[in-house]
Each structure stands twice: as structure tokens, then as C-alpha cells.
Amino acid sequence: MNGKQLKNSILQWAIQGKLVPQDPNDEPASMLLERIRTEKAKLVKEKKIKKDKNESIIYRGDDNSYYEKFLATGEVKCIDEEIPFEIPQGWEWTRIGNIFNHTSGKQQSGSNKNGGTPQKFITTSNLYWGYFILDNVKVMNFTEEEIKTCSATKGDLLVCEGGAGYGRSAIWNYDYDICLQNHVHRLRPCVNGICEYVYHFIYLLKESNNLASVGTAMPGLSANRLKGLLLPFPPLPEQKRIVAKLEELLPLIKKYSEVQDCLEELNISINDKLKKSILQEAIQGKLVPQIADEGTAQELLEQIRQEKLQLVKDGKLKKSALTDSIIFKGDDNKYFEKIANTKMDITDEIPFEIPDSWSWVRLNDICSYIQRGKSPKYSLIKKYPVVAQKCNQWSGFSIDKAQFIDPDTLSSYGEERILQDGDLMWNSTGLGTLGRMAIYWSSLNPYELAVADSHVTVIRAMKKFVMPQYLYYYFTSNTVQSVIEDKSDGSTKQKELATATVKTYLVPIPPLMEQDRIISKIKQLASIMRG
């Protein structure tokens, strides 16, 4: 349970009468409500407030159902469906409008046609949960009558009407009055001491998504919605005990929340480091044991060469895909690359040692296709999606972020440019997105096919011999990602991973069956980490 959940649970206990014990000596809430009604009637008679047409009394009938009687009309209706839970003896259900005198502020305007004098006033931007920010208070003209009706005095509960912060509430506890803008509700208590409890109640409703007016284009808290909120109302002494207990607990909850946040950040950090460590162990041949019967990568590479030769002979692969690159370790423990009759020392390129059954190889030697996508002509016709940088996220591949090519231009795409299952899609331009990789699977694409744009390099492995998932793990490892910008060309603002660079990337290749075991082991460990 995080801090927010704990706080909401405690508030829920509070409004259900489970946070502090009841005292049978407390004056019941029914008598408190009667005093409030008397006070309101007095204010109406003195013409200080208008009569509330929706003022009501909620009671429990002999049939154990809850009823609401509207005092202005005498109408009675059953409200059982509104009652969310049972409350202790001595408590009552009521509407917020029954226990407060409500008004709103003045509509903000640059015009002062009605005269008046300049007055400071607060808006929703000044009002936050439990406090005010008053260093940017604005000024507008208010008439004497508007000052009376559109201002807050010490002890008033103020509530935001609209915007993202609707429901935000705080008690005006300053020794001076201040005017209000019309998007701020003023709840003036009919008896002292009830605002603090109601403040916590409103906060809980907001956190529980039970506050906004329904059926409106924008979420907000209208006057009718606010006054109509159904409130579990304890005796006044119990309200004070509840508030005192909350004031005792909330600082502790805040500390708990801070510790939880630190712990969560630590867990994320540990998981990230653990993931990187697992990938590093995997690509160095340390995650799973080597098994002699599974053969060697040297044998695998020879099979790939023979397969490529046959594909070239059959016209299914361009001759340029053939290379004579052979990487080996000399007697002096240095690494060499032999191309035709040329031998070069590439020891400085080798990032780490690998098992004897593995081999270092250039990416191009184990792939049938490595090429950037092409710049598309876009269309609003959603038929053929284009995989762009934003489609390739570390969280996975998302076709939902794709745009679409003009269907008439599909014929300009060669067959090899149509994405295939298992294709690696490597973001090859731009800071922040450079190096992100995803694997294309047609099952993630509800459309007929997909192509890549010019900012994405498509890597198509010889899948009979090299598993795309293994390559994905390698290219997402810290070994590759930590130096991705160093490998790229271009300015600081626009880095680019050249296709030639991608083709000549060094890759540590295990035997095929070991690749499969590595993939399975990583998936197993990832599942454990997720819990």
C-alpha cells in the first residue's frame, strides 16, 4: 500500500466512524443539525441569506429505509440507493448545502462599468489543498454589495469549481476578508467547528473520483453538485476528535509516503541495474552453461555462409551480401579479422571475452538484409502503416503511433522493404530516440503489412541460424547502448547511425541452441523481477 492509498483508507475509516471511538455523552448530530436549521431560519428572516429551496432533512423510516424530506415543498423520497454505508448511532446523513451558506465570487472581467473600488481577489490559481498562495493576487473593482456577497471571512471553507484542480479546498484562516472570483465556492458554516471535517471529506471524494459533476463536457464541481453532496455527519465533539486524530496521523503518512517513494525509486533502480547485469552476463556467455553437444558458433557461421551462397545462386540474395570476413583469436591472444588476403588487428574493437564455442562476427555476415527505410508519402488512408521512431519504444513496439503511406506508392517499395516477422527495427537518428529498438511481429499489426521510414534501420537476421530475440538482447545491452552516440555521426543536435556502421557492428554469437537457452533464461528472470 502506497502513501496515497493509506491516506485514503484512513479518511474512509474516519467518515465511517471507525477512526475514533464514539462517546455516548456527545450531543447527537441530529441536535446539531436542528441548531443549524434554526440559525439558517434566523438569517433568512434577517434577510442576510436567501431561503434554500433544496434544504432537506434525511431520516430513517420505520421500514429501515432512508428518506429525504424537502422543507420548502414537503416532498419526501426514498434515497436508499444513495446511501453508501452504515453510520454509527448518533451520526446523521445530510447534504453539504444543509449545513453551510453557499455563495460564489464575482465573474472576472477587465471592465468596471458597474463602478466599485479596487479589491484584491483570489482565483482557483490561489487555492490549493489546505493552503493558499497569495503572492500573485489580482485586483478588480467590487461594489459594496459585491464585497458583502463575494468575499470570504475567517473560518470560511473555499472550494475550486472547475479546471484540473476542481474540488481543491482550504479554510480561510486569515484575520482579514478577501474577495472571490466566480469559480471559487464559499461555504460559510452555520456553526463553528465543522469546516475541518468537511474539508477532509471533500478531499476523499476527489481522490476517489466521486466529486465531479456528471454529464458535462469538462469535469467540474457545480454549485448544485457541491451543495447536494451526501455527507456522513458525526456529533461535533467527534468531528473534533476525528480531525485531531487525522492531524496526528497525516504527518506520519507523509513520512511513510516519502519512504515508499524512495523505496520505489530504489526498486526501479535496482531492477534496471539487475536487468542490465543479466543482459551483460547473457551476451558474455555467463548466464547459461555451454554444452559441447550443441556445437560451436564457427560451425554455425559456416552453415550461414553456405546458406547465403545458395540464396545468391537462386537469385534470392544479392551478391553484395557475401563477405569473406573471418574473425579469430591468434596465438598471441589478439583478435584478427581476415578479409580476402588482408589481415587486421581488431583487438581494440573487442569489448569483452567470450566462451571458446562462441565467435565474434560482423552483423552483416549473419543477416540477409540491413537497410534504412525510405521517406514515405503520407496519407490519411489507414491501410499501410509506416514504422517510425515513435513506434519503437523501450516498452515495446506500438503500431498505434504509426502514420500511413499513400496506398498508390506501395508499388515503389521493393518486396524486401515489407517488414517481416522477427525484423529488428533500430532507431537510427535523433537524440533521445537513437538506439531504441523493437522487434516487428505481424500479430501486433492489425493491417495487411507495414514498412519502415528513413529514420529506422531494418535488420533481418538469417533466422534459421540466429534468433532475432538474442540480437535484440545484445543491441539493447549496456555494451551497445552506452556507446551508441560515440558510434554515430553528425552534430550534437542530430546524431545518425549510418547503415555502414550498423552492418559492421561486432556481435558475439553462441551456438543456436545456446541462443534459445539464453532467451528462455532472460524471460524467466524477467518474470521473477516483475513479481
Rounded mean pLDDT of the chain?
Answer: 91
292-530 CATH choice from 3.20.20.60, 3.30.1330.30, 3.90.220.20, 3.30.1300.10: 3.90.220.20
- Whether 528 shows a pLDDT value over 80: the answer reads yes
Same fold, 3-254 and 292-530: yes
Of 285-299, 319-333, 357-371, 456-470, minimum mean pLDDT range: 319-333
DSSP 126: G
Q: Is 14 exposed, middle or buried (0-12, 13-18, 19+ CB in 10 A)?
A: buried
Kindly give, in sequence order, each residue whose CB lies less than 8 Å from that of residue 359, ignoring residues fewer than 6 positions away. 296, 297, 298, 300, 301, 327, 508, 509
Domain-wise residue ranges, the chain: 3-254, 292-530
The three grid cell numbers given for residue 486, joined into one nine-digit string? 560515440
What are the pLDDT digits (tens) for 34-58? 999 999 999 999 888 888 899 999 9
What are the pLDDT digits (tens) for 381-420? 999 999 999 999 888 888 998 999 999 999 999 999 999 9
Report which of 300, 334, 313 is spatially closest to residue 470, judged by C-alpha positions.
300
Class of domain 3-254: alpha beta
Biggest CA-to-CA distance, the chain = 109
- Check residue 110 and give its pLDDT: 61
- Residues 355-376 have a mean pLDDT of 94
Scored b (16 or more CB within 10 A) or e, 476-509 reads bbebbbeebeeebeeeeeebbbeeeebbebbbbb
Kindly give, in sequence order, each residue whose CB lies less than 8 Å from that of residue 65, ignoring residues fewer than 6 positions away. 78, 80
For the whole model, what pTM was predicted? 0.61
- Check residue 113 and give its pLDDT: 61
